[in-house]
Amino acid sequence: MRVINKTDLLKKLPFKKSTLYQRINDGFFPAGILTPVSAHAVWDEDVVDAWLILAYGLNKPMPDLHPEDLAVVKSCIARLQRDGLQRDGLQRDGLATSNNNKSTDNIQNNIHNNKGKTI
């Protein structure tokens, strides 16, 4: 498992920190994993990449996830779809543009970049 911290996570995502926390609270994005050493959360990079691929319909291979992790990602995507935020809704809701003005191509380029730490 490769993990990324919040700073690296936000570099991969097309939205700001406040939107990230709102999406986690709404069940639209997988929550991080609290580390025993500190109170800071980290995210499994493959889970984040899988969420990006499914949320944005990217033409990238899905990472090989544990079935429980895949179920979490699919549950978040199902909530997005159910609440009308999928695809055009992502743009209307501000998820397809960010403080860095990332396009879908830039999001695709950030997937599987292996910047995380292996644990």
* Tokens matching residue 51: 């969420």
Domain of 15 in residue numbering reads as 2-118
**Whole-prediction pTM value?**
0.77
Q: For residue range 67-116, list pLDDT tens digits in order.
A: 999 999 999 999 988 886 654 445 544 444 343 344 566 666 667 555 55
How many whole angstroms separate alpha carbon 90 and alpha carbon 101?
14
Pairing relation of β-strands 41-44 and 2-5? antiparallel
- How many domains does the chain divide into? 1
